[in-house]
Structure 1
């Protein structure tokens, strides 16, 4: 049996400043910090008190800060892994979103999508992005721990879920699993059939506590 809790970091400065995130190392806003506390509380309530827990996180500040709250709730140390980062937008990172919007070349409806050039110098292809997330997930899931938490980003969630359900990487060009900032996605594998379920996608009920705290 295994349960994987996938967290998308809550509100960060690049959200409110309307600049491109990606590898731009933005920080949580005060609202984001409150949401991180609510995330930690919600996870602590879901995981049995006696269970061993492992915590893996993207190494960017906004995910690290969220992971710190969760780590404190479980008394564990997060394992930082740069492969769990958001997509790199190359030279667009940290620039105004409108700057990227003017230059971005969307992928075609049919044809090559994984290696598609989006027109931004230094940006990752979807193939490179997916491959590093899949590699990180392969290592995480080789570990025997039954309760694992993965702290990542909204865009990268798609490839975490796709790898979980064993979608071939060559098929993820059209995949998209959307979830709000600060959400918790719950994935479960049973001991009998070894089916990998998506129990819930992008749950945000726990964020009501952080909103009330404002």
Structure 2
């Protein structure tokens, strides 16, 4: 049996400043820090006492700041994986959203989508992004811990989930799981059928009223 809890980082400074995130190394706002504490508390309550859980996190500041109270609550040191970062938007990272929208070329409805050039210099293609996240997930699932926490970003969470349910890379050109900031998604593998289930998606009950 295995349980994976996927956390999307809470509110960060680039959200309030209307800037592109990506690899731009923004940090949590005071509200984001409070929400990270509530995420850690919720996970501490959900995860049964037993062998230590493993915590993996993107190495960007806003996710590390989210993972630190989770690690403290569970008594483990988070492991940083660059592969869990958000999509790189190249020169667009940290730029005003209006600047980005003027230059961004959305993918076509049909045809090549994974390797589509979005018009932003230095940006990852979606194909490069998903291959990076899938490689990071290979490392995560190779860890023998029965309980794992993954701290990542609102875009990359789609590919964390897709990897868990076994979607092939070429199917990911159209995949998107929309979840709120500061949410917890619960993934589970049972001991009988060995199914990989999505138990809950983007749960924010722990943030209610905050």
For the aligned pair, the TM-score class normalised by the smaller chain equals over 0.9
CA-to-aligned-CA distance 1:13-37 (integer Å, 9 cap, x gap):
0000000000000000000000000
User: In the alignment, is residue 98 of structure 1 matched against residue 112 of structure 2?
Assistant: no
User: In the alignment, is residue 198 of structure 1 matched against residue 198 of structure 2?
Assistant: yes
Who is 1:125 aligned against? 125
Conservation of the 8 A alpha-carbon contact between 2:52 and 2:76: no
- 2-side partners of 1:136 and 1:92: how far apart? 24
TM-score (norm 1): 0.97
Who is 1:36 aligned against? 36
Q: What displacement does 1:52 show? A: 2.1
Gaps in structure 1 of 5+ consecutive residues? none
- 2-side partners of 1:193 and 1:104: how far apart? 44
- 2-side partners of 1:140 and 1:122: how far apart? 27
- 1-side partners of 2:78 and 2:167: how far apart? 27
Conservation of the 8 A alpha-carbon contact between 2:114 and 2:125: yes
- 1-side partners of 2:44 and 2:51: how far apart? 11
CA-to-aligned-CA distance 1:47-82 (integer Å, 9 cap, x gap):
002242000000000000010010110110000011
TM-score (norm 2): 0.99
**Over 4 Å off, 4+ runs:** none
When the two chains are superposed, the root-mean-square deviation of aligned CA atoms in Å is 0.7
User: 1:124-203, aligned counterparts within 5 Å?
Assistant: 124-203=124-203
